[in-house]
Amino acid sequence: MAHDRFGGLTGWDMEGFHSGGDTELWKRLGSSVVTIEDDERGPVTGVRFAVWAPNARSVQVIGDFNWWTGDHMELIPGSGVWGLFIEGLGEETLYKYRIETQDGRWIEKVDPMAKFSEQAPANASIVYESKYIWSDDEWMEKRRESQAHAEPMSVYEVHLGGWRKGKSYLDLAEELVSYVKWQGYTHVEFMPLAEHPFEPSWGYQVSGYFSPTSRFGKPDDLRYLIDRLHQAGIGVIMDWVPGHFPKDEWALGRFDGTALYEHADPRQGEHMDWGTYIFNYGRNEVKSFLVSNALYWIKEFHIDGLRVDAVASMLYLDYSREEGQWVPNEFGGRENLEAIDFLRYVNRHLYEREPGVLMIAEESTSFPGVTKPVHHGGLGFGFKWNMGWMNDSLRYLELDPVYRQYEHHLLTFAMVYQYSENFVLPISHDEVVHGKGSMINKVPQDDWRKFATLRAFYSFMWSFPGKQLIFMGCEFGQRPEFNEATSLEWWVSELWGHGGLQRLFRDLNHIYRDNAPLYQLDNEPAGFSWINADDASKNTLSWVRHDADGNHIACVTNFAPQPLVDYEIGLPAGGAWEEILNTDAPIYDGSGEFGNLGEVYAKDEPWGHFPARANVTVPPLGSIWLRRTAQ
């Protein structure tokens, strides 16, 4: 044989990997169809296999091409990487690695860098090379120039398997895209798309970080779905899970017989709640693996943002642990300094490499500076889920209206810390599972009150400072909790109440996108003024949202079952104010009895800190929005 047995890969190619600086690792490790030069025959095409297993005695590649009997790989000098070029192989080749551990055991592993995998419960890796030609140049150029904090963001969170059962990536490229566009969302957020063995994990226990799940088709089919979303003007966020990985014996855990990707000490390397392994963020190769993975989805699949799952579990060494079950950091503290360093690195790198990308933290503690830039001492995320707002708001929603006046602070407290971070307001899948009840079933009393309250709540949410996120099915009042094994109950959207709620969401999204006061200054105090934060006895809140050009939208929400008639509010300007939303309108299955005939006239008479005042009618369990355009 007169050609390179490693398919052009050398130890020098792995220097960046070992230093933690290789952020495009998928171009070196894994399986790749390559053409190399044979001294005698000229160009020769085949597949190059390369896997990091530094503590293995030996490694074989097994697959359908050798009847799963094994071809011996060789250790690339000075790299800890085993490589082999096999002539004549091509795409769709099934393979795994058979690894001999130091104690003489043989274990079979899937490729950590596989770009495609068999559909569960099978798990072999598949050689795959993308041939996709993108048609989203206009979107990608717009992304590079975007300023997300001053732009609308209304996110529709989707579990692909449960949105409509049995649909493929290609099916969803038609049905999901048209629905999301009709509803007016600016983004979809996919629950994890990386390969995972256990369906009820919803994708949060990843076995193939570089392999889109094959449950819905091939990787290029997913590219087509994302391309179609971009062509429709819809951004794509994906849940990313760098916090932990499953213990399946054929996946990442104890990969070469040793703790390679995880810590060896279970006090550092195992997550007690989820029964999973925790990445060793202090290891350079692990850092290269994870940062490369984040960049892979953004570059290779044009993903616009990553929502990083379970950040709190990464930040604290004692997360969900009792005394004696965790190891303090070098200073004796509970902060995971290696994970903090990793998060700063990945955020800084992605923002530098891919301007306009979104990095969003699901972080449930008061850890400071989550969305502060790295050069100012923060973690460097662009946004953080506002879990405090979510928990307080849902507690209020579940109260009988007669008791809400005593818990009024649950809806106002979030403004105390609103400008400490850049927030997303999340009503996510986590709030409609595990006995928590669907949104419609959180609300007490009869269906009239349930639907009216939900309409008021979502109007309150869409007008509150922060970007918006809602889980699929909430937009039409799905009654059962989320279940990944079944489809959403789409048929109920034809029924009274459900259809009205769905139409309200469509209008909320379109009004929100068309009116800069509702989003432009989300993260600046100049974008918000309370009208009345303290009308607890009437279960009522009111405020004005402002933009940078002097436009205003006033929002009044009544969480009591009695209407407010001649309710006096202050406004930033006199004259005519258009009623652009009334959640009691007949189109939303409201009564249509309580409104302002499309307009309110404000007198130039001081009211509190406002120069004008007006009297309005607010429906029971309802909300109104009034718009004043700059004169």
Q: Is 357 exposed, middle or buried (0-12, 13-18, 19+ CB in 10 A)?
A: buried
Map tokens 């600016």 to a residue.
186
Alpha helices in 206-336 (DSSP H): 219-231, 266-269, 284-300, 311-315
Class of domain 11-126: mainly beta
Predicted pLDDT at 420: 97
User: What is residue 420's DSSP assignment?
Assistant: G
**Tell me: the pLDDT tens digits for 273-323?**
889 999 999 999 999 999 999 999 999 999 999 999 999 999 999 999 999
Map tokens 């279970």 to a residue.
266
- Superfamily per CATH, domain 155-394+415-438+470-518: Glycosidases (3.20.20.80)
The token pair at 616 is: 């309005």
The token pair at 19 is: 């230093």
Residue ranges of the chain whose pLDDT lies below 50: 1-2
Q: Provide the pairing of β-strand 383-385 with 423-427.
A: parallel
- Residue 273, number of CB atoms within 10 A of its CB: 11
Map tokens 């290029």 to a residue.
220
Predicted pLDDT at 6: 77
Q: Which amino acid is at 193?
A: L
Query: Residue 192: which residues within 8 A CB-CB, separation 6 or more?
Result: 202, 203, 204, 206, 238, 239, 240, 241, 309
Catalytic residues: 309, 362
110: phi then psi, degrees, rounded to nearest 5: -80, 165
**Tell me: the pLDDT tens digits for 317-350?**
999 999 999 999 999 999 999 999 999 999 999 9
Contact indicator for 464, 413 with CB cutoff of 8 Å: no
Contact indicator for 219, 296 with CB cutoff of 8 Å: no
**What are the boundaries of each domain within the chain?**
11-126, 155-394+415-438+470-518
- Report CA-CA distances (Å) from 174 to 169, 177, 224, 474: 9, 6, 10, 21
Predicted pLDDT at 202: 87
Q: If you write DSSP's letter for every residue of 20-72 in order, what string do you get?
A: T--S-GGGTSEEEEEEEEETTTEEEEEEEEEEE-TT-SEEEEEETTTTTS-EE
**ω into 121 cis (within 30 of 0):** yes
Task: Report the distance separating Cα 210 and Cα 585, nearest Å.
Answer: 48
Contact indicator for 60, 71 with CB cutoff of 8 Å: yes
Predicted pLDDT at 5: 77
Predicted pLDDT at 631: 64
